A = this chain, B = another copy of it.
Amino acid sequence: MKTKTILEKFGDNVREIRKSKGFSQEQLSFKADLHRTYIGMIERAEKNITLSNIEKIAKALEVEISELLK
């Protein structure tokens, strides 16, 4: 089984936690002050996210950043 890249792990964690909290991508993008398409690209590991945007998403999901990196 191919090991996941850090971007894939991050994207999967964002999607999983977002869904567990009942947010749509649109709701998360509004809370995180990021564009909805950007959230989709992050979840599909199509973007190399920056640290300040990682913090925005973690705050919007109300989790520690480390939660998103497991």
Interface check A48, CB cutoff 8 A: yes
Q: Which size class do A's interface residues fall under?
A: 10 to 19
For the complex with contacts A6-B52, A50-B51, 11 further pairs of A-B residues with Cβ separation under 8 Å are A5-B52, A6-B51, A7-B52, A10-B51, A48-B51, A48-B52, A49-B51, A50-B50, A51-B51, A65-B66, A66-B69
Of chain B, the residue at the smallest CB distance from A65 is: B69
Per the 8 Å Cβ criterion, residues 41-70 of A in contact with B are: 48-52, 54-55, 65-66, 69
Q: B residues within 8 A CB of A10?
A: 51
Of chain B, the residue at the smallest CB distance from A56 is: B6
Give the CA-CA distance A55 to B9 in the complex, in Å. 12
